[in-house]
Each structure stands twice: as C-alpha cells, then as structure tokens.
Amino acid sequence: MFLRLAHQHRQFVQDLVMNLQALAIVLERRGYPASCYTCGDQMNSASFMVSLGDNHLIRFLVSDYGITWTEMRDDRELMKLEGAEAINQLQELANIVKQPATTSTANKALAKKF
C-alpha cells in the first residue's frame, strides 16, 4: 500500500510541475515576468515565480517535501500557504489567466486579486 501511495505522490508532483511550466509560459505571453525552474529530468520539484508588478511577487514551490505559496510585496511576506490551500490559491491564479487574452480584463483581475 505505501509503495503505491509513494508512486501516486510522485506522479502528482510531476503533473503539478508540468502545469506550473505551462502557467509560466501563459503568464509570460501576457506580459508578466514568470519562470518555472526544475531540477533534473525527473520533474520531482519546481520553483515557480511570477511578478505582478509594483514589487509584487508570487512564489510557488513544489517538491516531495511539500508545497508552498508565498506572496510578497516590497520584499515583505504577505501570505504563506501550504498544501491544499497553496494549490487552491494557484488555481485562482490559473482561473484568472484563463480569461480571454484579447481584453485587458485578465490583467486587471490579476492586479486586483493578488
């Protein structure tokens, strides 16, 4: 049972890393400096960062050891979430990005929400 759970967890982390890479690409195309760095080819960890302007930075870390969302403004930590709460916050960011790129609605929503 534990080997199966360990395998499922590794698969979950790999899926999350792939989605973070895609989100970074979409945000870059929208004009937000974003990056997603991974260590090695196994995709078992990643560091995702996006700057929303005005010294407003979001960092999302994922690895076998945990998942964290950290939001900072002017080099001060505003919010730090872990686990499911961090993933929920990431989903909110992804939902805003899904809005049509032809309007500035998504960009305004990002600025307001985060």
> Which pLDDT score is estimated for 64?
84
Separation of alpha carbons 27 and 4, rounded Å: 35
Least confidently predicted of 39-48, 79-88, 105-114? 105-114
Give the chain's mean pLDDT: 89
Task: Flag whether pLDDT at 106 surpasses 80.
Answer: no
Separation of alpha carbons 62 and 79, rounded Å: 17
Least confidently predicted of 29-33, 66-70, 95-99? 95-99
Task: Classify residue 29 as exposed, middle or buried by CB count within 10 Å of its CB (0-12, 13-18, 19+).
Answer: exposed
Kindly list the distances between the CA atom of residue 53 and the CA atoms of 62, 66, 77, 107, in Å, as whole numbers in the listed order.
23, 27, 15, 11
Domain boundaries, the chain: 2-113
Task: Flag whether pLDDT at 102 surpasses 80.
Answer: no
Task: Flag whether pLDDT at 34 surpasses 80.
Answer: yes
> Which pLDDT score is estimated for 39?
85
To which residue do tokens 């929208």 refer?
A: 30
